[in-house]
Amino acid sequence: MSSALLAIGRRRTTAERRRDRERDIIRATRELFDERGTIDAQIDDIAKRVGINKALIYRHFAGKEELFALTLVNYLQELDERLQQNDGPRRAPLNRLKALSETFVDFCLEYPAFTDCAMSLLRRTGEELFGEITEPVMVKLGTAMAAPLGRIAVILEAGQRAGVFDEVDTAYLANHLYTQTLGSLHMARVGLIVSGSQPGHPVVHHADVGTVRSTAITATLATAVGRKALTTKKTRSARAGDIS
């Protein structure tokens, strides 16, 4: 075998080892996220879980934000698999959207660190993200997000054709529903709601997870229906006026 072919073989082996190491680091990061949450998952702990020196992590990833972004990719891939399993193309669009919304909400409740990780990236501007995360990783993150968002957009398009969903750009609305649901589930993550019985005397209550769940799902359906619900209500009121 020529020296050139041997060199290619060595390079392939090195590349494979690098990919395996990266997968191990991402897997360890997610394990720690699920065990402790994103705040308490430190780079030192991740390195210790993998059995490597902390410095090696920074050879594979530009920084903590990039590692967290790739861990979010891992979550999003699993989420998309669940959405695919629970989607029923023959169902009515409203029922399809309800099933996928339930799947998404339950995934967020099962993996609170996913909500935290996703929200932490949403709080950054695009300019900030590109400053912290390399372009190849941004492409991976965008691809992972596009899969579940695309599933939602397809259902929204079907609902528009059926005349049950609002005529809004489906790509925009899918992104809106994704962000809206994450925000709603953050209430379950915090576990508290605030009310005011008297001026200057706020009252803190426990946020019931079941209520947060049902409200988030209802909000998704209501947002998708949108102005269609108002139009229907006006039509019913007009008909009632005609009858009277």
pLDDT of amino acid 80? 97
Residue with tokens 């020196």, as numbered in its chain: 53
Alpha-carbon gap, residue 163 to 161, rounded angstroms: 5
Q: For the chain, which ranges sit under pLDDT 70?
A: 1-12, 231-244
In the numeric block, which tokens belong to residue 113? 């660190």
At CA 57, angle to CA 21 and CA 182, rounded to 5? Answer: 90
pTM of the model: 0.82
pLDDT digits (tens, 9 = 90+) for 163-214: 999 999 999 999 999 999 999 988 887 787 888 777 777 888 888 899 999 9
The residues, ordered by sequence, that sit 6+ positions from 188 with a Cβ below 8 Å of its Cβ are 108, 109, 207, 209, 212, 213
The residues, ordered by sequence, that sit 6+ positions from 36 with a Cβ below 8 Å of its Cβ are none
Within the chain, strands assigned E span 192-198, 201-206
The residues, ordered by sequence, that sit 6+ positions from 130 with a Cβ below 8 Å of its Cβ are 138
In the numeric block, which tokens belong to residue 143? 């691809």
